[in-house]
């Protein structure tokens, strides 16, 4: 979607979704593995597995309760490292390097890779390395275990790097597709689909925050005649020039959309009616090539739906055309 100020939207492959939604699933997988490990491990491993279960429960709870969106992004490396500690404890509690769970440390790094940056993946691998190598430094006869540990770290980083690059590529293309789906291809402003979503969101924000919001429908006057006289290419150039001028005249946060043909719509959030009228007057004066436009303007009354608000705008636009065009009519 294109707008004077582009609002961030949550996409299925976004960092927020992949962190928030996959984290508990990773925790559930570790909990299931712990249940199996506890049932098969020797009694002397109970302490390690109990610690692993405690960390798993705390991490799942933290994922649900901590306001991660208010913390620095690098804080989101913490939960994968906690799960890496769980993987290490499960491994140590079920036979050490020879355990069937020895490669579990890959799982939290893979989770980090699907939402994090390459720097965060490197930090995660470094954390996993610290978890795996620290015990070896305390054991005199750990030399045979070093090659396998280092190989596991290399594999972990390689797989993590590959997954991170893949998801970064997928995210980039998903964002491009989402943007194209909400953008008018000729003018580069929002299309009807984006407009319908934005007006609902604007009314919801106005209701929650107790602020005004104004909406306008604008038609270029006699655009069909202009097309017939000058040709469709000239008509397209006019539409592009109009939207470029209007975008420059709007405020940051205002939404400009092309609904089709010569029909445009504007959302002015947090804008009282008198200020909205001044803004739309600038738009009217900014129409190039000696053309004019007619505008229907309405301020949300605090109770009506988006459809009702648009209906009042449409009625005001009709009145503007009936009154001779090239004017702004405020809806009753």
Express each pLDDT in 165-217 by its tens digit.
999 999 899 888 888 999 999 999 999 999 999 999 999 999 999 999 999 99
Nearest to 217 by CA among 161, 267, 178: 267
The number of angstroms, rounded, from the C-alpha of 305 to the middle of its chain's C-alpha atoms is 26
Question: What residues does each domain of the chain span?
Answer: 15-180, 192-330
Q: What is the pLDDT of residues 93-104, one digit of tens each?
A: 988 877 888 888
126 versus 135: the higher-pLDDT residue is: 126
Nearest to 313 by CA among 252, 259, 261: 259
Q: Which of 34-43, 129-138, 217-226 has the highest mean pLDDT?
A: 217-226
Judge contact between 3 and 190, C-beta under 8 A.
Answer: yes
Work out the average pLDDT over 281-309: 95
The backbone region for 325, taken as left when phi is positive above 0, alpha when psi lies in -120 to 50, beta otherwise, is: left
Phi/psi of residue 214, each to 5°?
A: -115, 150
Q: Which residues of 208-222 are buried (b: 16+ CB within 10 A; e: fewer)?
A: eeeebbbbbbbbbbe
pLDDT at 9 over 60: no
Nearest to 248 by CA among 219, 287, 197, 203: 287
The backbone region for 166, taken as left when phi is positive above 0, alpha when psi lies in -120 to 50, beta otherwise, is: alpha
pLDDT at 4: 39
Q: Are strands 328-330 and 213-220 parallel, antiparallel or unpaired?
A: unpaired
Residue 187 burial class via C-beta count within 10 angstroms: exposed 0-12, middle 13-18, buried 19 and up: buried
- 68-82, 206-220, 247-261: least confidently modelled range: 68-82
pLDDT at 3 over 90: no
CATH for the 192-330 domain, from 3.40.50.300, 3.30.70.270, 1.20.1110.10, 3.30.70.1560: 3.30.70.270
253 versus 1: the higher-pLDDT residue is: 253
pLDDT at 66 over 50: yes
Q: How many residues are recorded in the chain?
A: 332
Joined together, the tokens standing for residue 103 give 């490669």
- Residues with Cβ within 8 Å of residue 148, at least 6 apart in sequence: 97
pTM here? 0.66
Give dist(CA 118, CA 77) in Å, integer.
12
């Amino acid at each position: 979607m294109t707008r004077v100020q582009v609002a961030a939207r949550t996409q299925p492959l976004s960092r927020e979704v992949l962190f928030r939604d996959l984290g508990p699933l990773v925790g559930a997988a570790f909990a299931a593995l712990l249940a199996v490990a506890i049932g098969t491990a020797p009694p002397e491993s109970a302490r390690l597995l109990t610690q692993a279960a405690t960390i798993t429960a705390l991490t799942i709870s933290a994922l649900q309760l901590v306001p991660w969106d208010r913390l620095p992004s690098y804080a989101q490396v913490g939960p994968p490292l906690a799960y890496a500690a769980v993987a290490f404890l499960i491994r140590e509690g079920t036979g050490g390097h020879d355990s069937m769970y020895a490669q579990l440390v890959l799982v939290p790094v893979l989770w980090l890779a699907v939402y994090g940056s390459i720097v965060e993946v490197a930090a995660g691998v470094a954390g996993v390395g610290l978890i795996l190598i620290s015990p070896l430094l305390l054991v005199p006869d750990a030399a045979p275990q070093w090659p396998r540990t280092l190989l596991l770290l290399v594999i972990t980083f390689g797989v993590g790097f590959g997954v991170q690059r893949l998801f970064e590529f997928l995210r980039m293309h998903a964002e491009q597709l989402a943007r194209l789906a909400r953008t008018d291809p000729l003018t580069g402003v929002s299309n009807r689909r984006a407009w319908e979503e934005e007006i609902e969101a604007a009314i919801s924000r106005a209701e929650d925050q107790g602020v005004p919001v104004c909406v306008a429908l604008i038609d270029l006057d006699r655009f069909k005649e202009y097309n017939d006289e000058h040709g469709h290419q000239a008509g397209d150039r006019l539409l592009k020039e109009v939207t470029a001028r209007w975008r420059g005249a709007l405020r940051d946060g205002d939404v400009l959309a092309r609904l089709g043909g010569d029909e445009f719509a504007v959302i002015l959030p947090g804008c009282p009616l008198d200020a909205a009228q001044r803004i739309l007057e600038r738009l009217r004066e900014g129409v190039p090539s000696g053309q004019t436009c007619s505008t229907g303007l309405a301020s949300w009354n605090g109770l009506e739906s988006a459809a009702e608000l648009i209906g009042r705008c449409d009625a005001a636009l009709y009145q503007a055309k009936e009154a001779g065009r090239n004017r702004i009519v405020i809806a009753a």
